[in-house]
Amino acid sequence: MTGRGRLGMGGFVDAALSFPTVLFTPLLVVVVLYWLVVIAGGADPDAGSEIGEHGPLHFAGLGGVPAPISLSLVIVFAWFASLAGGEFHGPVPLWAVLIAALAVAWLLARLLVIPLRKLLPDGPDVSRADFVGLTCVIRTGRVTSTFGQAEVHAADGSSAVVQVRQAGSDDLRAGSEALLYDFDPEGEFFWVVPTDIATRGH
């Protein structure tokens, strides 16, 4: 067998819907939609963090970061690797391209996870209660009574991305500054209020 050659728009669609790429195309669509929802503030990217710390992802060398990040990396790399392999595989059978794509995806994802572990904050290292009374910057598209994240810097210079909630309906969106005024140990999140409201009257 020979490669399909240069890809036009039609050829690109055909390649994306051909074996082995077609196995990863639906997963890639799910990944893209998921991160669009995260950007819009409708999903928590830290969900499944415990899965990344234990279980298959951990033993595969992909632990230490939230599971959605590890899985997204594997899917994206596998899709591109299978697309390229399907186009230029030459005499190599397509089932071998599939195996090679998975191996390449795992290797690249594992290499990228290593620096990501250092960039992502380690929540347990800093006492959450120490953040109460500090200001933070909202990092999700919105903050509600059930969802929200913010970045906070401690007095020692350390920072963390924490879960936040608000009791009201203030317009807290990405980039807004808020005050962490209480911590819920059961839900492991902070209650926040916009800083302009917190300082009003002082």
Instruction: Please indicate, yes or no, whether the overall pTM of this predicted structure exceeds 0.85.
Output: no
Beta carbons of 23 and 82 less than 8 angstroms apart: yes
Beta carbons of 200 and 193 less than 8 angstroms apart: no
pLDDT the model gives residue 60? 80
How far is residue 143's CA from residue 175's CA, in Å, rounded to a whole number?
Answer: 11
CA nearest 67: which of 122, 113, 128, 121? 113
Beta carbons of 196 and 176 less than 8 angstroms apart: no
pLDDT tens digits for 88-141? 877 788 899 999 999 999 999 999 998 887 776 554 444 677 788 999 999 999
Class of domain 123-198: mainly beta
3 state SS of 182 = strand
CATH 2.40.50.140 positions along the chain are: 123-198
